[in-house]
Chains A and B, each alone.
Chain A
Amino acid sequence: MNRQDKIRNFSIIAHIDHGKSTLADRLLEATQSVSTREMEEQLLDNMDIERERGITIKARAVKVKYEAKDGNIYDLNLIDTPGHVDFNYEVSRSLRACEGALLVVDATQGIEAQTLANTYLALENDLEILPVINKIDLPSADINGVRTEIEEVIGIPAEDCPAVSAKTGLNIGDVLEKIVTDIPAPEGDEDAPLKALIFDSYYDSYRGVVVYVRVLDGDVHAGEKIRMMNTGAEFEVVEVGYMSAFGLVPADKIAAGEVGYITASIKSVADTRVGDTVTDAENPTKEPFPGFKEALPMVYAGIYPADGAKYPDLRDALEKLQLNDAALTFEPETSIALGFGFRCGFLGLLHMEIIAERLEREFNLDLVTTAPSVIYKVTYKNGDVKYIDNPANYPDPDEIAKAEEPIVRGNIITPTDYMGGIMELCKERRGIFLDMKYLDKTRVELHYILPLNEIVYDFFDALKSRSKGYASLDYELDGYKESKLVKLEILLNLELVDALSFIVHADKAYARGRKIAEALKDNIPRQLFEVPIQAAIGGRVIARETVKAMRKDVLAKCYGGDITRKKKLLEKQKEGKKKMRKLGSVEVPPETFMAVLKLDEEQPKNFCTKGMLLSWKTSVFISTFRSV
């Protein structure tokens, strides 16, 4: 057996909540007996501060050792993938670094939209797919049903696939054996020039960017001069090594077939784009690994500090986040209503929510976030073509020759019971039905072309509420399409509020305008004067609501000289006021700018269910692999 024959590189793919992280934890636990002793020896020699505080290291890949039934000890490299549609490209790069993937399917739920989306991605990348049926400890588990479903829907054999409970650890050994016997070993050319694929990177304040790579050909060692083939950036390698469950373990070199890290005093993750190819600067490989794409934002929103004086803090915070997130873009922006802020670009809504939440939580900023917008393509009458990511900059109708909006291909998987309601929803959202496929007697997969701006506009909430949470959506961008678009403007107290403007399809403008006016009425607290709210298109008012003037706000009772209580009450009221944004003369709570998005369905919710958000976070921000 040669060196590479004892390596297995694999990912775990699954729909949200099907147990990906738990399975990863179990696999690490099961392999710990072999690896702990060896890794501890290595770690003891390198006990610097950051290794001690292993928590700072973001483990997106980990190497463990496994003694198989054939008596050989194998290196298993588990590469994590983010499990959300916003990060499809990252997922595809992670998969490219592997030869195989464990496809986890919940024995009680069966195949879901992301199961399919991820499977297709894995198949596109020529991976060996190993189905694993999870949660067999649950009473409602239907192992045989799910086996049949995997064979019929995905078309891969599943009769002898492992059926496990990642929660209890039942049958985990079967999974490890299958990895060794069924996933092919890597077959890199050890003598060829260095060719390594970047599948992740993160910024570390001690060593600069730590780049996670899969070495395809050749090898890489400290002191070597490397080049990022797509960005052209060149660096001298400081250290290479492996990712263990305990942190980074330096090594002399990492070679073909292996997964490891490189540090090279790199200042920004912008130089280490996921999907780029690392090669030897002096003896480069001929062709970069195919398929490199720069991750491009699909959704834009204005982010403003609630307190205008915090603008520099917001800039610093965005810069810090960008160190670790090349997909986040931002540019200074000024709004008449909101002052100085940034126009930020995101991969999708989840990405946007995560960034906003991190800004608030990790950097302690109070933010006002405007409604997200997609990028419209406008052809002017003079022939100019512009891409417009901010509704405030959308031109007057008489300047426009042609307006186009981005569209996506959406796959929705739903129990047949909710199919009618969901088809209705897609129709309301201007969806074009392509086709449908029954997955089994109870579930169906619907294919639609949908305008992206309809998805941005509370589509996830609507989908969840019309399917009692059972339907799932997956989508990918599918170009631009001409559309009748108009700019809807909002006036508060007769003053235009630029930050509330947005673009909408002409046929829906009236209904949307009315709903937004109503939502604003419910969100804007009463002022000392009456506040008219108007929705207008091209200066023509299409909807009007009024926030009545406040006339009574008094607590006269001041009992037995208890001055303190009264004072505290007023102080609290004042604190509440500080959070308000002043739009002209009207005070508005910061949530107002997002509230206009959430109009259609009864239940106000986040864009994504908490489960989706948490699950993604668990896999990214918290080291998934802290199993000990």
Chain B
Amino acid sequence: MIRLVGIEKDYVMGGEVVPALREVNLHIPKGSFVAIMGPSGSGKSTLMNILGCLDRPTRGQYFLDGEDVSDLSDDELAGIRNRKIGFVFQSFNLLHHSTAAENVALPLVYAGAENQHARALEALRKVQLDHRADHRPSELSGGQRQRVAIARAIITDPPILFADEPTGNLDSKTSDEILGIFEGLYRSGSTIVMVTHERDVAEHAARIITFRDGRLLSDETLEKPARAGSGGAP
């Protein structure tokens, strides 16, 4: 599903070149649930931006779903994000003036798809929030907002889901619910990459990759990933 070959990323700050990623090689097969860990400044956010096609690597190649996306134009990357990637952010990133259903349908708008509202309700049903479809984000709790965001991420059935600190703004009980949804999606075959700096959150994944100073530090596979106590996707 994802293959990184010699990925490097440099930032230029004040005329000085600062390397953010160095010689990253990584393979994530289809149907994985991978957690990426590391302290701040380790390069995990940079990696996430590149994996999510929001940014391009300085050097190296990135194959997503069999396609080399390292050198695509901005608009081509936008198309890839729309069709192949679902994003879940720490701060939800919902549009305030739009209802839950409208937020969920947003990827379909840019795809010019049909039956947008019906499909949005369907996606909301998968996160058990279809009864709140006409509410605006300000009328929803943090956990509900994140479930709207997940529904938006999965509405196009993308081959891969990226979650950037999805539980960072939530209390532990709500975090558990959200992780349960990800587990459910994983069990039903989705490929999920989740960035977190909390070990107990990362342990819900089947594989934990740790970064430090822009390099891949460790790559461990868990025999028995943690399970969310309650909730979960149907």
A complexed with B: no
